[in-house]
């Protein structure tokens, strides 16, 4: 076993070279390719080459929204922590996660719903004054509530990143988002996803130079 000697500032570059090589010549139009590679890099899981679904033009819609100062609403502190806030704030955007707010917990308990549901409602209020990208990395109930507000209340997200992970209602909630005709989305279909993937997709769009 031989350990490669790679300088710290070259590790990510070398990783991307390995990923590109192991994709065996498969490519996507940018910035889809960057998003795919970054999801693989984050997870070491090449399934993302096949399970990432982009609605028509979603990746560039997301890039343009971020550059226009869109805010990002997440359903987990982990996703919020993973987003490059320096890059986002340079465009005038902010990251919001309401999951730990005491009033969110109290309202969720009173209504008998998840805190993630309330978080999406808080994000919908924010969307009255800002473009909002919803980056969901954990809770299927967040996607279900977004779907309801889009259909019933006219909510218009700039983009939905629908990446909850797990087994209960995960696949079904993603399919609900992918059935929407007029809302851009990026979704890793199936059971895989996670807060790290949601944050990674945001960062891939933020770092796109095209």
The residues annotated as belonging to the active site are 41
Pairing mode of beta strands 95-96, 132-136? unpaired
* 114: its two tokens: 């998840």
CA dist 82 to 46, 153, 194, Å?
Answer: 21, 30, 12
Of 67, 108, 111, 121, give the one whose Cα is nearest residue 89: 67
Question: Half-sphere exposure of residue 171, counting CA atoms within 13 Å on the CB side?
Answer: 4
Beta-bridge mates of residue 74? 135
């Amino acid at each position: 076993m031989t350990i490669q000697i790679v300088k710290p500032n070259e590790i990510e570059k070398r990783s991307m070279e390995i990923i590109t090589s192991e994709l065996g010549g498969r490519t996507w139009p940018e910035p889809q390719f960057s998003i795919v590679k970054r999801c693989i890099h984050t997870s070491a899981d090449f399934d993302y080459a096949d399970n990432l679904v982009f609605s028509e033009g979603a990746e560039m819609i997301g890039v343009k929204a971020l550059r226009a100062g869109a805010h990002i609403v997440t359903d987990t502190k982990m996703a919020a922590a993973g987003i490059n806030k320096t890059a986002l704030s340079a465009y005038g955007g902010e990251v919001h996660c309401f999951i730990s707010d005491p009033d969110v917990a109290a309202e969720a308990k009173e209504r008998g719903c998840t805190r993630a549901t309330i978080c999406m409602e808080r994000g919908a209020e924010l969307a009255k004054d800002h473009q909002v990208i919803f980056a969901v990395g954990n809770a299927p109930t967040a996607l279900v509530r977004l779907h309801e507000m889009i259909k019933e209340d006219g909510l218009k997200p700039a983009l939905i990143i629908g990446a909850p992970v797990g087994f209960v209602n995960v696949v079904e909630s993603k399919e609900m988002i992918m059935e929407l005709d007029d809302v851009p989305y990026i979704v890793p279909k199936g059971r895989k996803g996670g807060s790290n993937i949601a944050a990674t997709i945001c960062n891939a769009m933020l770092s796109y130079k095209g």
